[in-house]
């Protein structure tokens, strides 16, 4: 049994995943929510002041700079949020026995591997966003107890995401060009939050080795295939055409393959997330 008296802090609480976690973990812990308006994690003094008056059993760090293309022009800010923010929390809680959970990304990989990436594969990020998230992982490893969760292609009810973008563009245009040579695993924030709850329960009740865990919805697709699925489910009167990445003109490079293997997480918890097709359908039904 999980002790409901345990105290949990969720940073980035107003983001897509933070909102999903607050709903999912509210009955499991005494949950506190932290967002930029409450404490700027890039301000070391503010972070020390915040934690000087509070103690937590678990910190789930969702706060992040996620504008992949914009990060190419703002590398210092991306580093401050994605990496230095983690170091600031470590410095403010040093000596604590709290469990620190860092949400990371598939973009720590270069995409050259033809098969899904495992937790043992060596990261080689090809953009600033991925580089700063990898540095955040390195700071997360400073904690006595830590879990690094790599996930990918998030969508959910509380924020902008690819699904909403396709719905919006389909209402404005009759033809959409979507990249077909980048593949990954679309992940529904509510499903990811349930998986994190399962990981926490396992950690508290049985113990879980510190380290990296991949958690995504099951299956792999391209952005084009995902767009087609959205259009079919919503019966959108739009033509979707596949294009190559080089015709997309994005500032930041993207890995051609960023699929993540979830076998380590499944072997530990016995929990497998639904396939991405079901996840998209569930999301659209509740949108």
Task: Give the model's pLDDT for residue 243.
Answer: 96
**pLDDT tens digits, 13-72:** 999 999 999 999 987 788 899 999 999 999 999 999 999 989 999 999 999 999 999 999
Q: How many CB atoms lie within 10 A of CB 162?
A: 17
Q: Residue 205: is it exposed, middle or buried by C-beta count within 10 angstroms (0-12/13-18/19+)?
A: exposed
In this structure, of 12-16, 26-30, 73-77, 212-216, the range with the lowest mean pLDDT score is 26-30
Please give the positions annotated as active site: 129
Task: Give the model's pLDDT for residue 204.
Answer: 87
Task: Give the model's pLDDT for residue 38.
Answer: 92
**pLDDT tens digits, 78-88:** 999 999 999 99
Share of the chain above pLDDT 70, in %: 99
User: Residues 132, 75: contact at Cβ < 8 Å?
Assistant: yes
Task: Give the model's pLDDT for residue 286.
Answer: 86
Q: Does 154 have pLDDT greater than 70?
A: yes
Domain boundaries, the chain: 7-160+185-218+259-274
- pTM metric for this prediction: 0.95
Fold of 7-160+185-218+259-274: Rossmann fold (3.40.50)
């Amino acid at each position: 049994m999980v002790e409901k008296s345990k105290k949990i802090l969720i940073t980035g609480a107003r983001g897509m995943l933070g909102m999903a976690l607050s709903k999912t973990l509210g009955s499991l812990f005494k949950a506190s929510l932290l967002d930029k308006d409450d404490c700027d994690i890039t301000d070391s003094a503010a972070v020390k002041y915040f934690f000087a008056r509070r103690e937590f059993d678990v910190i789930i760090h969702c706060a992040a700079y996620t504008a992949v293309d914009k990060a190419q022009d703002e590398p210092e800010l991306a580093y401050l949020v994605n990496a230095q923010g983690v170091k600031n929390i470590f410095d403010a809680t040093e000596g604590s026995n709290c469990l620190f959970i860092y949400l990371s990304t598939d973009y720590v990989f270069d995409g050259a591997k033809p098969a899904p990436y495992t937790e043992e594969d060596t990261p080689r990020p090809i953009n600033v966003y991925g580089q700063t998230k990898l540095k955040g992982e390195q700071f997360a490893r400073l904690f006595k107890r830590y879990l690094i969760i790599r996930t990918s292609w998030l969508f959910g009810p509380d924020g902008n995401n690819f699904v909403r973008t396709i719905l919006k563009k389909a209402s404005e245009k009759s033809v959409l060009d979507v990249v077909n040579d980048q593949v990954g695993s679309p992940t529904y924030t509510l499903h990811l939050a349930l998986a994190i709850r399962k990981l926490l329960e396992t950690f508290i009740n049985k113990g879980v080795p510190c380290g990296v865990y991949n958690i995504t919805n099951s299956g792999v697709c391209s952005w084009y295939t995902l767009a087609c699925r959205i259009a079919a489910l919503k019966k959108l009167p739009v033509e979707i055409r596949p294009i190559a990445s080089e015709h997309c003109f994005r500032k930041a490079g993207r890995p051609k393959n960023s699929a993540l293997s979830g076998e380590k997480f499944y072997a530990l918890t016995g929990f497998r997330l639904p396939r991405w097709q079901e996840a998209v359908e569930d999301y659209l039904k509740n949108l």
